[in-house]
Amino acid sequence: MAMAMATPLRPTSLRNLHLLLRTAPRFVHNQFGSHNTSTNSSSVNPTEVSHFNALASTWWDPHGSSRLLHLMNPLRHDFIHRCHGMQPVPPPSANLRYLDIGCGGGIFAESAARLTGTGLVTAIDPSPEVLGVAQAHARRDPGLSGKLSYLNTSIEGLAKPGSVEEQYDVLSLFEVIEHITHPAEFLDACQEYVKPGGWIVMSTIARTWTSWFTTKLVAEDLVGIVPRGTHDWGKYINEEELRGYFLEKRGWNSPMVMGVVYVPGLGWKEVSGSEKVGNYFFGIRKDENGEFEIGAKSVVWGH
């Protein structure tokens, strides 16, 4: 956070660059699994934080650089709806709890709080500027009060749930994982916040030649619409890597995926198979009969 003001960036959302993706042969290169041994206690990359600070002012301008994020937001709900739809027993229709990590200006967090089935949304972001934008914006909708709580923290700073009631039905990571230095450790940290039977849902971008070409080479090196080094293309994660990560662990089931493509003039469209090459949603469900861990000791619950 100390480096927050490092480079003044143009308010071009680096997330938008992800939208430039098209088909390309898959690039197989997996560094996701390799745990880094650095002593860094936070999942948050300071360069990323400064980048998003620069975006803060335009976050809620529907015609600004975040427009594509706004347009994508309904699909996030469609995807969650689809995840819930494949449960053998549907989730409760009221009082669902959401934890939105890396909430940014609050586009998803606000929308989740507005849903009739929502009890509470806790939304966190490590950037104080961005969180300030989110909080100021939420004040413009009196309907959100009491349903939406913002915290300026990273996942590591968030109080651990003390009981199932304090865990979340939906933990969301939208356009977040690709900005995380050590994604596997980060996901490890997320798991205990999810209720048994709850979901982790995320959206990100596949690591392919296309994404390297559009976001690294074109955007940074050739056109220069974002400063060099903004993207760490190596951090992009492919769907099967995520799937592998969760299924290798005990306690996760029902991986879901939905590939989406931005079609100018039409907006975001689901295109099956496109998760292999560009933007995609990934969801995974926590087993209903699992272990609830508090610190080191495990509490076992059943039906």
DSSP-derived secondary structure letter, 251 = T
Helices (H), the chain: 14-17, 46-55, 67-85, 107-114, 128-138, 183-191, 209-211, 239-248
111 binds another protein, rule: CB under 8 A: yes
Helices (H), 102-260: 107-114, 128-138, 183-191, 209-211, 239-248
CB 88 within 8 A of CB 127: no
CB nearer to another protein: pick between 106 and 183:
106
Q: According to the annotation, is 81 in a ligand binding site? A: no
CB nearer to another protein: pick between 26 and 77:
77
CB 183 within 8 A of CB 204: no
Exactly one of 1, 9, 115, 225 binds another protein (CB under 8 A); that residue is 115
Instruction: Identify which of 232, 231, 240, 223 has the alpha carbon closest to the alpha carbon of residue 275.
Output: 240
Helix, strand, or coil (residue 162): coil
CB nearer to another protein: pick between 93 and 272:
93
CB nearer to another protein: pick between 107 and 194:
107
264 binds another protein, rule: CB under 8 A: no
Exactly one of 29, 141, 157, 166 binds another protein (CB under 8 A); that residue is 141
295 binds another protein, rule: CB under 8 A: no
Q: According to the annotation, is 108 in a ligand binding site? A: no
Exactly one of 26, 70, 84, 243 binds another protein (CB under 8 A); that residue is 70
Instruction: Identify which of 235, 248, 243, 236 has the alpha carbon closest to the alpha carbon of residue 282.
Output: 243
**Binding-site residues for Mg(2+):** 175, 178-179
Binding residues for S-adenosyl-L-methionine: 76, 102, 125, 174
Contact residues toward another protein (CB under 8 A) are 62, 70, 73-74, 77-78, 110-116, 136, 139-143, 145
